[in-house]
Amino acid sequence: MSNKSFIKVTALFFIVAFAGAFNSCATAQSSKNTQQYKVAVCDWMILKRQKLGAFGLAAEIKADGIELDMGGLGNRPTFDSKLGDPVERQKFLDKSKESGVAISSIAMSGFYAQSFAKRETIVPMIEDCVKAMKNMKVKVAYLPLGTESDLVKNPELRPVIIERLKWAGKQVGKIRGVIAIETSLDAAAEKKLLEEIDSKYIKSSFNFANAADNGRDIVTELKILGKKHLGQIHASNTDKVWLENDTMINMPEIKKTLDEMKWSGWLIVERSRDVTQVHNVKANYGANVAYLKRVFQN
């Protein structure tokens, strides 16, 4: 073989090898970006509420994302949040990029204990959350209608909650985002509530624990609620055992149901901690994230 032919063959070899390596990387990246189901953890439940360290810990337990909280409420007019400060907000965005851990949604967890129906400063709270969503390019906000706005125990609050959610839907609709609400209602009643709100920007944040704790079948509830109304899923149960050991949750059947619905989105681990080691964050959340990934991303 002449020197010229040898050089051509060698060059061709390197081009083919480089193309193969590039395509492998592109395929892996594409697979990550187009994953039907992604798994996140709540930053406040891993004891990193609105802390940069949440990204590193989430990466360590191999979560795809975190549900980032807006911060506490107390008697403040709005959330105790760093996300309104451009400098601080950029730190969260940089840490997300650096760690490869996305922000699945922005949570208003202060409403677990505070009343969405009665708080007088709902306007700045929702506006601050929507502004954070816009600036951080996050499409979903999580809003739990907690103990003070429980529609099962306090049905008289229904009109004002609907009115406020109609308004909130208009605000988040301006950025084409979604506020995903968690209620204590069964799926049929929650679907009816969403239909009364009548906003494509207000959906359900379905929590396995709400169904399981009240003796309702999770698969049946998901089918009743339907793809149209499902914004995200809190894919965990009340603390007892890890998800893989929980006889109340048939995870393969849940995946089959969501597949048939052609739903895609975030599965967020909130609890399902082993009560014998409830404070072991890495063990509990690492095990639950790993199990969800085995089932949903296999």
Residue 25 has pLDDT above 60, yes or no: no
Report yes or no on 78 lying in a domain.
yes
Model confidence pLDDT, tens digit, residues 146-171:
999 999 999 999 999 999 999 999 99
Q: What is the average pLDDT across 199-227? A: 98
Reported as a pLDDT band with limits 50, 70 and 90, residue 1 is low
Q: What is the DSSP annotation of 65-130?
A: EEEEE----TTSSS---STTSHHHHHHHHHHHHHHT-EEEEEE-GGGGTS-TTT-TTHHHHHHHHH
* CA-CA-CA-CA torsion sign (95, 72, 79, 168): positive
Residue 18 has pLDDT above 80, yes or no: no
The per-residue pLDDT for 33 is 61
Model confidence pLDDT, tens digit, residues 243-274:
999 999 999 999 999 999 999 999 999 999 99
Report yes or no on 30 lying in a domain.
no
The per-residue pLDDT for 11 is 43
Model confidence pLDDT, tens digit, residues 32-57:
567 899 999 999 999 999 999 999 99
Residue 235 lies in domain? 37-296
* Region of poorest pLDDT, from 1-10, 79-88, 255-264, 277-286: 1-10
Report yes or no on 2 lying in a domain.
no
Helix (H, G, I), strand (E, B) or coil at 18: helix
Report yes or no on 139 lying in a domain.
yes
Residue 289 has pLDDT above 80, yes or no: yes
The per-residue pLDDT for 298 is 83
- Return the structure tokens found at 178: 């979604």
Residue 182 has pLDDT above 70, yes or no: yes
Report yes or no on 7 lying in a domain.
no
Q: What is the DSSP annotation of 201-252?
A: TEEEEEEHHHHHHTT--HHHHHHHH-GGGEEEEE---SSBS-GGG-TT--HH
> What is the value of pTM for the model shown?
0.89
Instruction: Identify the CATH number of the domain in which residue 43 sits.
Output: 3.20.20.150
Q: What is the average pLDDT across 118-129? A: 97
CA distance 79 to 69: 10
Report yes or no on 187 lying in a domain.
yes
* CA-CA-CA-CA torsion sign (67, 286, 211, 264): positive
DSSP 8-state secondary structure symbol assigned to residue 156? G
The per-residue pLDDT for 226 is 97
Report yes or no on 250 lying in a domain.
yes
* Region of poorest pLDDT, from 3-7, 176-180, 280-284: 3-7
Q: Give the residue carrying structure tokens 């451009």.
A: 86
Report yes or no on 161 lying in a domain.
yes
Distance of CA 171 to the CA centre of its chain: 20
Residue 29 has pLDDT above 60, yes or no: no
Give the number of domains in the chain: 1
* CA-CA-CA-CA torsion sign (45, 233, 55, 241): positive
Q: Which residues of 176-189 are buried (b: 16+ CB within 10 A; e: fewer)?
A: ebbbbbbbbbbbee
